[in-house]
Every structure is written in structure tokens, then in C-alpha cells.
């Protein structure tokens, strides 16, 4: 089973502040899922999202 990434994990991976991730996840379509009250992201989904953005 793959560990889901937190907002902090995603921010570190993207080299962005956590505040940027919180402010922009909907507009940028970062592939988060709500788990209870928290946002979580699969590492593979984040890699696909990055690949799609590079293709633009």
C-alpha cells in the first residue's frame, strides 16, 4: 500500500510553501482527495499531474 501524501508532503515535493498549496490546489487541479477533514494525494497521481503540466 502506498502512503498518501499530506499537504506538507506535496508542498515539499513541489518546492512550494504549504500556503501556496492550500491557496491553489483547486485552481491548479492538484489531485487531492478529502479524507475526513484532511487533503491527501497519491504520489502516482501527483506525478501524473506534473507530467500533464509539463506537456502544456
pLDDT digits (tens, 9 = 90+) for 3-51: 999 999 999 999 999 999 999 999 999 999 999 999 999 999 999 999 9
- Asked if residue 41 belongs to a domain, the reply is yes
* CA 50 – CA 5 distance, rounded (Å): 15
In a domain, 47, yes or no: yes
Its pTM surpasses 0.85: yes
Instruction: Specify whether the backbone of 42 is left (phi greater than 0), alpha (psi in -120 to 50) or beta.
Output: beta
Model pLDDT, residue 13: 97
The reported pLDDT for the residue numbered 52 is 94
Domain presence at residue 50:
yes
Residue 45 counted as domain residue: yes
Within-domain flag for 2: no
Q: Is residue 37 part of a domain?
A: yes
Quote the domain boundaries for residue 34: 7-54
Amino acid at each position: 500500500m502506498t502512503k498518501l501524501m499530506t499537504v506538507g508532503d506535496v508542498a515539499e515535493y513541489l518546492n512550494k510553501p504549504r500556503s501556496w498549496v492550500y491557496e491553489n490546489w483547486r485552481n491548479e487541479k492538484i489531485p487531492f482527495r478529502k479524507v475526513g477533514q484532511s487533503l491527501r494525494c497519491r504520489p502516482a497521481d501527483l506525478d501524473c499531474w506534473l507530467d500533464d503540466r509539463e506537456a502544456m
